[in-house]
Amino acid sequence: MGFRTRYLNWKSRRLITEWEGLTVDTANCGDADRTVLIIPSDPVLISSSTGDQAMIGAIKAEWFRRMPQATIYIATAGGTSDDAAEKLDLAPLAILEGGSSLTESYAGALAIRPDVVILMGADGIDGSYDPSFSVRNVALVDLLSRSGAEAYITGFSVSRDIHPMVTTIFDKLDESVAVNLRDPVSYARFADASECSAREVADVAFLLKPRESRSVTELEQWIEEQRSQGRTVIGLNFHPLLLELDRRTALQDLIQAMGEVVEGLLQTGDIAILLIDHDERGSSSDALCLRPLYEQLTSRFPNRLLYPDARLTASEIKALSSHLDGVISGRMHLMIASIGAATPTFGIDYKDKMEGLLQLCNLDCDNLTDARSVLADPGVFQERIVTWISDLDRQRRQVTAALPSVRESAMQNFAPAN
């Protein structure tokens, strides 16, 4: 194991020991419908990930509907993350600052006496990024549940190997915590790894409402101009995280390969492509891939390749997706937005996340590739995209038929534990 792995394992063990030794205050939460606490996927950046923004928006809307008079807090790391929370009309609660102990985070949460606590799912809970972060957040939900709060972990993904220290927390989790897995593959992996009771749901982001705006309307006009000339309009997203950390040096090769694919598609004359930014977080920002691809090709295809200047919100992206003929997505939550808008989607997978989503929606798992395959033969990937485009009408009918049950499944994120 490398130094980072050893350090994170050591940190996780310390958190588990701290969690096991804490005395729970059983008289501090859950005595009135007045306070909700959201624990986000990223307490520092809050909503720089559009996927996180979508989940926060859906959770906030549901709990305002249920508890109109409640104050909804979101756990932050303080500083600029407090400002980000306030921009979402949420009350910041700086209990996840760097260096703070689990004991301090728990005490800080108890100060607002939360009646409901919601840990946002996403793909970090299984420990595949940072097991200590996962252990800390799940342990905090457990402590607040034991203190009387109504507790939920919204649907999350599980990669092939859930971290054993995360499993340790789940195996001892308070039974009143509602644990949700967001697709059948993740549910099966979790059930194999842990004795914790859980259920299969759809991602909470499926509940996000689309929002038309001036920016969306302007892009819709461009889309309709392309269609008036007989073109199929496809959204495209890819990003650095499609490559594992030890292969990130191949990023320029991936950009070049995707450029070859896009160029081949545009040369046909009957396709237009809209590049979609979905995440702006530092070294994983989509712009690191989309901007150079655009600069490489825009002079040759100025009218059929567009990279919008303005970054859209999660609800705007869902609205935009409904106007596209199809979306090629390297982001899980862009795929969710597209499917939620009844738009066919082709996935570029990472962390083994997307197959389960396609299964959940009864969609074709053949419409999936990964960066390694794109790098190995861009021509084969282009041929697969051409075949996918030729079948978009049937796939749209398939997605539309699946949506009612998917939305119903997404609502189960907020059902109490069995």
Q: Which letter does DSSP use for residue 399 in this model?
A: H
Q: Quick check: do 3-201 and 214-406 share a fold?
A: yes
214-406 adopts what CATH topology? Rossmann fold (3.40.50)
Residues 286-310: what's their mean pLDDT?
Answer: 95
- 3-state DSSP assignment of residue 151: strand
Residue 47: is its pLDDT beyond 90? no
For the ranges 42-51, 296-305, 390-399, the lowest mean pLDDT is seen at 42-51
For 184-237, how does the pLDDT look when each residue is reduced to its tens digit (9 = 90+)? Answer: 999 999 999 999 999 999 999 999 999 999 999 999 999 999 999 999 999 999
Q: Computed over its alpha carbons, how large is the radius of gyration of the chain? A: 22
Sorted by where each begins, the domain ranges of the chain are 3-201, 214-406
Provide φ and ψ at 79, rounded to 5°: 60, -130
Mean confidence (pLDDT) of the chain:
93
Residues 261-266: what's their mean pLDDT?
Answer: 97
Distance CA 76, CA 87 (A): 13
Q: Is residue 71 within 8 Å of residue 93, measured between CB atoms?
A: no
Distance CA 69, CA 225 (A): 46
Q: What is the pLDDT of residue 363?
A: 85
Q: Is residue 239 within 8 Å of residue 279, measured between CB atoms?
A: yes
Outline where 22-73 has alpha helix (H): 50-66
Single pTM value for the model: 0.91
Q: What is the pLDDT of residue 19?
A: 96
Residues 328-354: what's their mean pLDDT?
Answer: 93
Counting Cβ atoms within 10 Å, is residue 13 exposed (0-12), middle (13-18) or buried (19+)?
A: middle
Residues 329-357: what's their mean pLDDT?
Answer: 92
What is the band of 296 on the pLDDT scale with cuts at 50, 70, 90? very high
Distance CA 1, CA 10 (A): 12
Residues 375-400: what's their mean pLDDT?
Answer: 95
Other CB atoms closer than 10 Å to residue 205's CB: what's the count? Answer: 31
Facing residues of 152 across strands?
118, 178
Q: What is the pLDDT of residue 1?
A: 58
Q: What is the pLDDT of residue 161?
A: 80
Distance CA 73, CA 363 (A): 36
Q: In what order do the strands lie in the sheet with 368-370?
A: 305-306, 271-275, 232-236, 326-329, 345-349, 368-370
Distance CA 8, CA 414 (A): 31
337's enclosing H/E stretch is: helix 332-340
Joined tokens for residue 396: 């749209």
**Domain 3-201: CATH class, spelled out:** alpha beta
pLDDT over 70 percentage in the chain: 99
Q: Cα dist. 184→338, 367, 417 in Å? A: 19, 17, 18
Q: What is the pLDDT of residue 128?
A: 82
Distance CA 65, CA 365 (A): 35
Q: What is the pLDDT of residue 280?
A: 80
For 17-43, how does the pLDDT look when each residue is reduced to its tens digit (9 = 90+)? Answer: 999 999 998 877 776 779 999 999 999
Residue 299: what residue type?
S
Residue 171: is its pLDDT beyond 70? yes
